[in-house]
Structure formats: C-alpha cells, structure tokens
Amino acid sequence: MKHFIGFALAALCAGTALTPAQALVIGTADSSNSIPFGGNLGGYYYQQIYNAASFGSGIDISKLSFYTSQAPGGAVRSGTFVIYLSTISTDIATFDTNTSAPWLDSSFVEVFNGSLPSISGNRLDLNLSSLFSYNPAAGNLLLTVREFSLSSGSAFFDVDQNNGTTNSRFSAYPYNWNQGLVTGFNDGVAAVPEPASWAMMIGGFAFVGGLARRRGLSIRFA
C-alpha cells in the first residue's frame, strides 16, 4: 500500500504542469535612443504602438522590459513615471504623424506609477502594479508614458526601425520618427501552475489523504 501511495504522489507531481506566463519580445534592435527613459527630449509624454498581429493571442501583461544591448551603460532618468496600457485602432505606419490619437482617456489603464528601477543586465524591468489583460482582437496595443519633471539621464535603449511591428511618438510633434523601443512582455516571469493543474493537485492530495485514512497510514510531506 505504501508503494501505491508513493506512486500516486509521483504521478500527481508529474501531472502538475508548470506553465510559464506567456512571454514575448517585440522588435529587433537595429539602433538606440534615449527617449523616454534615458533622456528628456521627448517632453512630458511618450507613446508607442504595437501591432496586434505580433501577439497572436491574448496575454495578461504583468511586466514590461526595455533593453540596452546596443549601447550598454548609462542611467535612467529620475522623477515619477506614470505608465498606461490601452488598445487603439490607429495604423502602425502613420501613428507618429497622427495628431488625433488620444494622449490620455478613460480607456487607459494605469499599470505603473513611481521611480524607475536601475538598469540591470542591460535591461530595465518594470513590474506592473496592475495586470493588463490584452486582447489583440480589440485593436493594437498602446503604451503611454508620462513624466513631468524633465529630468535627464544617460541610458540609450534598443530601437527597432519601423517595419510594421511598432512605432512611437512623443509630446505633440507630428513627424515621421519611424521607430519604437524593443519591448519585452512578461520576459522572465516565473512559471505558474495551470488552473487545471491546481485542480488536479488538490484532487490528488484529497485522494491520497483518503487512502491514508482508510489504511491508517501516516504520511509525512516535506
């Protein structure tokens, strides 16, 4: 009987799948710039759009990452950064010349508010205060960054020249800037059990516990 219970526990552990949160990096680094986290030339506002097709399916975003592999070193700006995520129907290619796209409205979800952490391992990781559930079927993803102190920094972040994947703009300057920061979504987020695995694990322990009670066995769990 002891062997049977041991086998049941082993099968339970094997069947409990640890699934990483959906993670992806959008953009390929071919240049770098300091706006908005390393330099204040962008003014108070920065916005970046991401093509919905890059995501493939819905994603619960809990972390944003920006990279400095093209120009390692440097420091981020000081000040209080407020970051929002939302969806938008604006075209990727003309986003930086479009003056009608909103800077801020009720559809924007605040996901970060505070000082930036230091760059570590050539990347700036922002753990979000609110989970943003993004549905690509609802439109392209929009990132909005707001910071009013116009503090200065020295970091330069990886940029993807516009190829239909992403594009960006800052303040109220409608001209063809034609680029966007390479951005990680949930890059490095720890694995979590799937909902079905939680159910299997709870049911399995209940089953094994029932067997133990019926047989009068004592099972010690590490």
Q: What is the pLDDT of residues 36-87, one digit of tens each?
A: 999 999 999 999 999 999 998 999 999 999 999 999 999 999 999 999 999 9
Structure tokens at 184: 């990680």
Same domain, 159 and 182: yes
Q: Which domain holds residue 86?
A: 22-189
Residue 172 has pLDDT above 50, yes or no: yes
pLDDT band at 190; cut points 50, 70, 90? confident
**How confident is residue 3, by pLDDT bands cut at 50, 70 and 90?**
very low
Q: What are 122's two structure tokens? A: 């050539």
Burial of 25 (C-beta count, 10 Å sphere; 0-12/13-18/19+)? middle
Which residues, other chains included, contact 32 with Cβ-Cβ below 8 Å and sequence gap of 6+? 68, 70, 71, 156, 157, 158, 159
**Does 7 score more than 80 pLDDT?**
no
Per-residue confidence (pLDDT) for residue 158, from 0 to 100: 98
* The predicted structure's pLDDT at residue 21: 65
Is a pLDDT exceeding 80 seen at residue 199?
Answer: no
**Domain CATH code at residue 81:** 2.60.120
Regarding whether 208 and 122 lie in a shared domain, the answer is no
Residue 162's pLDDT band (cuts 50, 70, 90): confident
User: How is residue 53 written in tokens?
Assistant: 């097709």
Instruction: Decide if pLDDT at 157 tops 90.
Output: yes
Report how far apart, in Å, the C-alpha atoms of 121 and of each of 9, 65, 118, 156 are: 39, 11, 10, 14
In the chain, alpha helices (H): 2-15, 195-215
User: Hey, which residues does 181 pair with through a beta bridge?
Assistant: 159
Number of domains in the chain: 2
Do 163 and 178 lie in one domain? The reply is yes
Residue 106, helix vs strand vs coil: coil
15 and 79 share one domain: no
Q: What is the mean pLDDT of residues 104-133?
A: 97
Q: Domain check: are 10 and 57 in the same one?
A: no
pLDDT at 214: 52
At 147, give phi and psi (nearest 5°).
-155, 125
pTM for this prediction? 0.79
